[in-house]
Structure 1
Amino acid sequence: MVDKEQYTPFYGVVMILAALGASLAVSYYGPTWLRVTVYLLTVAVVMVGGVMTFRDYSR
């Protein structure tokens, strides 16, 4: 059986890439309120994704 902890860093990287892609998409198109909202969500998602990616499972 595959250990679920092996997938956690992968999900973290996917979250980071998706957030950065969303920020890139709205940086050229969309109203200002949408840009600000996406940028704030990007910060939160990148922080959570970073924790998931670099969490130490050596215990």
Structure 2
Amino acid sequence: MADREQRTPFYGIVLILAALGASMAVTYYGPVWFRVTVYTLTVLLVLIGGVMTFRDYSH
């Protein structure tokens, strides 16, 4: 079983890919207010995923 330090970067990458996939899905369809909401959430999820992926575990 992998410990938590090995799973965290994987979860970060999954968050980034899910956010980018969601933003691609609403690029051409849906009302503008929904696109803006998804794009805003995409920025937040990419930032959180980046921190999770590139977190330094050396102490």
The TM-score bracket by the shorter chain reads: over 0.9
C-alpha RMSD of the superposition: 0.8
Aligned residues: 59
Counting helix residues as a fraction of each chain, which structure ranks higher?
Answer: 1
Distance across 2 between alignment mates of 1:2 and 1:14: 17
Structure 1 gap ranges (5+)? none
Tell me which stretches of 4 or more aligned residues in structure 1 moved more than 2 Å: none
Per the alignment, residue 18 of structure 2 pairs with 18
- Under a length normalisation based on structure 1, what TM-score does the superposition of the two structures give? 0.95
- Under a length normalisation based on structure 2, what TM-score does the superposition of the two structures give? 0.95
Distance across 2 between alignment mates of 1:28 and 1:42: 16
Distance across 1 between alignment mates of 2:53 and 2:24: 21
Identity percentage of aligned residues: 75
Match of 1:2, SS state, is coil
